[in-house]
């Protein structure tokens, strides 16, 4: 019997497989496609995702393949959200084609020991108290595989979600957008946003002399799906919006997408779990889907590995839904808000766009709030314990320590909890393995913090304040015992 079967070899499934292998869990990834999809739906890697990659020591591969941008767009507004103010080693969005992201993630997963089987389409599953039976149509015909757990990372039309009977409530499509990857004979000198009553279009350069055009227009505000677009129809649309078609020719890919918005009612049903697009479906505003999905997998990976190993405290695996479902709900809120603004083609709607764009440019607090939410650096999992320190559940920054050596992100490389003793002059050891060093760059909110327990996903499991050494040591041991068996 397999320990874990991951269904779907997109970015989320591949990252989850690597995280499970880091926890020592044998994992098989089943993918219906025989080859990696050459088309890149997503083009953006956000700061928190880059931090997650840094935890595991592979972020440089991605940065070397992409193009750092110091800002991000919100609803294609003229003024962009500044990411340079963010407290992170990666204060930028990384323009990187999804096809390259998947290639790098598959290399990482396979190197970690994951087995990736392409041409294996899951057609159904059943579960019982001891495991899950998966029906698979493969190169050699139908077969049944047995696993302790199955995770559906198989997209918005998830077979796993449907077979597990998990509801996917939400709203249907009311507007459509379009994208195309084409050659431009007269491209703009830099990435371009154009918006007005005739519609909106974004123009972005891609590798290989190709540009992506992403847009919408009043004709596409409708329930019924439009006919497939031709290059001639796109020239007409883009010319009407931007005043030029940029010499558009030789389309590599043309696609139409809608704003149907849904979220799984449960991210876990017994031995079946969901992550990424299988758990949340939304308008692709700002490229958030890939990033939130990878962050789902980061939250789930260490918890499921502990469950399989028998070291998870009671309720740990259930905390995946408790922590990530609200993040998915916020994702839907943000993408719905952007959809309303993107399709605000009336004079009143254009006035609202202008006002919000001015707020981004003129009110730093407003821009900073959007930057924290879009980048996912603002995500926290607040403790239910009223006595817990306010930092508990929050994201741990990449702390540097006195005396040099490893930073916090480097200490997270092996995917295990990290206990930090941050006292200026440590007295008796905390009584369990820890990294003892004071902060090299003190932070006001950390001024009274003397020890912390950091989860494998970079969030704070426990925060200890000033107290006698023996009390601090006892509290640290209790925190570790409650978290890591």
Say how far apart CA 432 and CA 430 lie, in whole Å.
6
Return the CATH number of 408-483, one of 3.40.30.120, 1.10.357.10, 3.40.920.10, 3.90.380.10.
3.40.30.120
378 Cβ contact partners less than 8 Å away, ≥ 6 residues apart:
369, 372, 395
Say how far apart CA 428 and CA 437 lie, in whole Å.
13
Closest C-alpha to 98, from 44, 155, 135: 44
Q: What is the pLDDT of residue 431?
A: 76
Say how far apart CA 345 and CA 353 lie, in whole Å.
10
Say how far apart CA 242 and CA 223 lie, in whole Å.
25
Of all helices (H) and strands (E), which one includes residue 478? helix 469-483
Identify whether the C-beta of residue 87 lies closer than 8 Å to the C-beta of residue 118.
no
Other Cβ atoms within 10 Å of 103 Cβ, number: 15
Per-residue pLDDT in tens (0 to 9) along the chain, 485 residues: 789 999 999 999 999 999 999 999 999 999 999 999 888 888 999 999 999 999 999 999 999 999 999 999 999 999 999 999 999 999 999 999 999 999 999 999 999 999 999 999 999 999 999 999 999 999 999 999 999 999 999 999 999 999 999 999 999 999 999 999 999 999 999 889 899 999 999 999 988 899 999 999 999 999 999 998 999 999 999 999 999 999 999 999 999 999 999 999 999 999 999 999 999 999 998 889 999 999 999 999 999 999 999 999 999 999 999 999 999 999 999 999 999 999 999 999 999 999 999 999 999 999 999 999 999 999 999 998 898 999 999 999 999 998 888 999 999 999 999 999 998 776 666 878 889 888 998 899 999 999 999 999 999 999 999 887 888 888 898 988 888 76
Closest C-alpha to 125, from 114, 109, 136: 136
Other Cβ atoms within 10 Å of 433 Cβ, number: 10
The pTM is what? Answer: 0.96
CATH class of 2-171+261-375: alpha beta
Q: What is the pLDDT of residue 485?
A: 63
DSSP string for residues in 90-108: --SEEE--HHHHHHHHHHH
Listed in sequence order, the DSSP H helices in 169-314 are 231-242, 288-309
Q: What is the pLDDT of residue 208?
A: 86
* Domain spans of the chain, in order of start: 2-171+261-375, 176-258, 408-483
Fold held by 176-258? Alpha-Beta Plaits (3.30.70)
Say how far apart CA 370 and CA 76 lie, in whole Å.
14
């Amino acid at each position: 019997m397999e320990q874990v079967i991951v269904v779907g070899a997109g970015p989320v499934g591949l990252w989850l497989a690597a995280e499970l292998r880091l926890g020592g869990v044998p994992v098989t990834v089943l993918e219906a496609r025989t080859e990696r999809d050459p088309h890149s739906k997503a083009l953006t890697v956000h700061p928190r995702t880059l931090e997650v990659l840094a935890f595991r020591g592979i972020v440089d591969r991605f940065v070397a393949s992409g193009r750092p941008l110091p800002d991000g767009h919100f609803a294609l507004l003229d003024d962009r959200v500044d990411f340079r103010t963010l407290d992170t080693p990666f204060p930028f969005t990384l323009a990187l084609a999804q096809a390259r992201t998947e290639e790098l993630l598959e290399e990482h997963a396979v190197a970690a020991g994951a087995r990736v089987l392409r041409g294996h389409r899951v057609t159904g599953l059943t579960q019982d108290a001891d495991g899950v039976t998966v029906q698979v149509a493969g190169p050699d015909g139908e077969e049944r595989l047995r696993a302790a757990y199955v995770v559906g990372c198989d997209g918005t039309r998830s077979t796993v979600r449907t077979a597990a009977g998990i509801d996917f409530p939400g709203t249907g499509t009311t507007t459509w957008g379009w994208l195309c990857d084409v050659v431009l004979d007269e491209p703009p000198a830099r990435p371009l946003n154009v918006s007005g009553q005739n519609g909106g279009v974004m123009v972005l350069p891609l590798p290989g002399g190709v540009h992506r055009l992403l847009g919408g227009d009043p004709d596409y505000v409708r329930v019924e799906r439009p006919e497939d677009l031709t290059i001639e129809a796109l020239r007409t649309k883009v010319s009407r919006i931007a005043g030029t078609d940029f010499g558009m020719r030789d389309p590599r890919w043309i696609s139409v997408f809608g704003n149907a918005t849904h979220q799984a009612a449960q991210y876990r049903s017994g031995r079946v779990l969901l992550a990424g697009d299988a758990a949340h479906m939304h308008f692709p505003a700002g490229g958030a889907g890939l990033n939130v999905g990878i962050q789902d997998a980061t939250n789930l990976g260490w918890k499921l590995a502990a469950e399989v190993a028998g070291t998870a405290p009671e309720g740990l695996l259930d905390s995946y839904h408790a922590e990530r479902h609200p993040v998915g709900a916020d994702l839907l809120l943000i993408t719905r808000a952007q959809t309303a603004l993107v399709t605000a083609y009336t004079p009143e709607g254009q006035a609202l766009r202008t006002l919000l764009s001015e707020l981004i440019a003129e009110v730093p607090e407003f821009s900073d709030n959007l930057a924290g939410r879009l980048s996912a650096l603002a995500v926290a999992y607040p403790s239910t314990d009223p006595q817990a320190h306010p930092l508990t559940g929050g994201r741990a920054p990449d702390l540097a320590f006195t005396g040099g050596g490893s930073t916090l992100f480097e200490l997270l490389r092996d995917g295990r909890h990290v206990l930090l003793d941050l006292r200026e002059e440590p007295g008796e050891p905390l009584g369990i393995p820890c990294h003892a060093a004071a902060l090299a760059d003190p932070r006001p909110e950390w001024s009274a913090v003397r020890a912390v327990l950091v989860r494998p996903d970079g969030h704070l499991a426990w925060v200890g304040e000033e107290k006698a050494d023996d009390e601090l040591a006892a509290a640290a041991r209790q925190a570790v015992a409650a978290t890591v068996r």
